[in-house]
Homo-oligomer: A and B are copies of this chain.
Amino acid sequence: MLSLTEENYLKAIYHLSDDGSKSVLTNDLAAAMNTKAASVTDMIKKLSAKTVISYEKYYGVNVTSKGKNEALMVIRKHRLWETFLVEKLGFSWDEVHEVAEQLEHINSTRLIEKLDEFLGFPKVDPHGDPIPDNKGKLKIMPMVAIDQLNIGYQGKIAAVKDSDSQLLKYLDKIGAKPGTKLKILNKEAYDESMEVLINDHRIFISKEVSQNILVVE
């Protein structure tokens, strides 16, 4: 059983390690957790004792398969709650994260199974991120940001990358959410801005924005 704080550390490690595929350094984790390296070292020892990460002094940490599973269950809860907040309670896209950060720590298997059912077993959350199933299985779609694509590309927005609230507000305003139709009309070589068709509206977007709009490859 992990404490709330331990769950948050584990989740951060999981994300920083690119879903468990590389090791995470103490300082990076400290930055992500808004804490000091010394505190991280303390926590690393605890998580290591609980066998959710493996740890080699001075060389960073790796999530174990047990840890990966526990992290995915927290992510599952987070994304199901985000979906609930947007779909059922009418939260806007950019407001959900903070509340979901709290809700993800509610401990009840029954609750999360019932919630999943109530939501109709969604496959992705409102940002387009995949929701792990109750076994911790995650269906990852290979995606590209649209700044990598050429003029004439047509498809549907699959997800948005950053979870920055400002960006989400902006994307919401221009109607760019997962599921929305998108076409690349023009690209400006100078600043890599582009003109796109979103929901049949012509819009100019900067490179920064285009790097955050993802489509399935």
Contacts and interface: CB of A to CB of B under 8 A. Distances in A.
Interface of A: 85, 88-91, 95, 98-99, 102-103, 106-108, 110-111, 114-115, 117-118
A89 B115 contact: yes
A102 B95 contact: no
22 contacts: A85-B111, A85-B114, A88-B118, A89-B111, A89-B114, A89-B115, A89-B117, A89-B118, A90-B114, A91-B110, A91-B114, A95-B110, A98-B108, A99-B106, A99-B108, A99-B110, A99-B111, A102-B106, A102-B107, A102-B108, A103-B106, A106-B106
Nearest to A115: B89
A56 B183 CA distance: 71
Nearest to A118: B89
A98 B88 CA distance: 23
A155 to B, nearest CB: 33
A56 to B, nearest CB: 35
A91 B106 CA distance: 16
A117 to B, nearest CB: 8
Contacts of A118: 88-89
Nearest to A108: B99
A96 to B, nearest CB: 10
A93 to B, nearest CB: 14
A102 B109 CA distance: 13
A90 B118 CA distance: 9
A101 to B, nearest CB: 10
A117 B89 CA distance: 8
Contacts of A90: 114
A103 B111 CA distance: 11
A126 to B, nearest CB: 15
Nearest to A88: B118
